[in-house]
Amino acid sequence: MYPTRFNYESPKSIAEAIALLHQGGGEAKILAGGQSLVPMMRLRFAAPEMIVDINNIPGLDYLTVDADGTIHIGALCRHSDLEKSSLLMAHQPTMAAAAPVIADPIVRNRGTLVGSLCHADPQGDWSSVMMALGGIVVAQGPNGRRSIPAADFVKGPFQNMLAFDEIAIEAIVPAPKGIPNGGYLKLERRVGDFATAGVAVAVESSQGLIIRAGIGLTGVGGSTINATAAAQSLVGAPLTAGSIAHAADLAAQAAQPRSDHRGSASYKRQIVKTFVVRILSGVVESMERAA
């Protein structure tokens, strides 16, 4: 199994990479971690004419937190960097929960969060997480930079909003207005398999009330699902058994699972419901501990 023949370019700067993409005219592809792209090329689902390897561009592997709590994840920040980050443990429970369950430990050493968002696999974990967090993708092209909300970034299965000559250079999680809490749960048949179903929940609380909520669903639709009605139902009130059950029902309704070898549609819907309840019950416990 070999990829089709391609031209390999290894730019040393973002500007050079953008120029190469422009020159490629839509037939060029960025290679970051390559953990999805290379297998797809080998299986010939993808056959780019040009590979623009960004691994030699310095300064893209950062993970930083601003004083106000804004998190910046560079295009070459690997899943394993996120998994080992004490910053995330302290500041971002939804991301901290997701990082250790991405793919498998070896793949995590290469794969990147930004690359995963760009790949826009309906079963990709980070898209749900960034949707739940109200995250932003920063794209850079010949005409400068623009910010794209993670909720709009995924256009469909394996389709993102980038123009052919734009690079996603970082992902941003905006500063929380309250205390961030939440989690990520995924059911997989074995480590490294695609998700049967996954749920990302991110909430912010202030004085016992939920002031912001986001819920993203993995692997239960044609693309990542933003369960907005479920999330909105939580805002402006404290978390109670009743409000959690209601949000879980709404999230299960938002899911559009298909029956396949990983499980029936109704089973996957049930998983979504169960995971929302589990994560939010955990949030209640941690809020009670903190109070």
Partner 1 sequence: MTSLNEEVFPDQASNVPVRKVTIRINGENRSANVEPRLLLAHLIRQGFNLTGTHTGCDTSNCGACTVLFDGQPIKSCTMLAIQADGHDVMTVEGLATASELHPIQEGFKDEHGLQCGFCTPGMMLTAKALLDENPDPTEDEVRWALSGNLCRCTGYQNIVKSVMWAARKINNQAAN
Residues that bind partner 1 (CB under 8 A): 1-8, 10, 31, 34-35, 38-39, 41-43, 51, 53, 55, 80, 103-107, 109-110, 191-192
d(CA 93, CA 117): 19
Length of the chain measured in residues: 291
Residue 38 or 284 with smaller CB distance to partner 1 = 38
| Closest by Cα among 239, 252, 253 to 284 | 239
Handedness of CA 215, 86, 114, 138 (dihedral sign): positive
Q: At closest approach, how far in Å is the CB of 36 from partner 1? A: 9
Residue 82 or 201 with smaller CB distance to partner 1 = 82
d(CA 275, CA 211): 21
Q: At closest approach, how far in Å is the CB of 121 from partner 1? A: 14
Q: At closest approach, how far in Å is the CB of 110 from partner 1? A: 6
Q: At closest approach, how far in Å is the CB of 8 from partner 1? A: 4
Find all residues with CB under 8 Å of 3, minimum gap 6, and list them.
38, 41, 42, 44, 47
Residue 104 or 249 with smaller CB distance to partner 1 = 104
Residue 103 or 283 with smaller CB distance to partner 1 = 103
d(CA 242, CA 43): 48
Residue 25 or 192 with smaller CB distance to partner 1 = 192
Residue 38 or 65 with smaller CB distance to partner 1 = 38
Q: At closest approach, how far in Å is the CB of 109 from partner 1? A: 5
Q: At closest approach, how far in Å is the CB of 41 from partner 1? A: 8
Q: At closest approach, how far in Å is the CB of 7 from partner 1? A: 7
Residue 185 or 201 with smaller CB distance to partner 1 = 185
Q: At closest approach, how far in Å is the CB of 191 from partner 1? A: 4
Residues facing 174 on adjacent strands = none
Residue type, 54: I
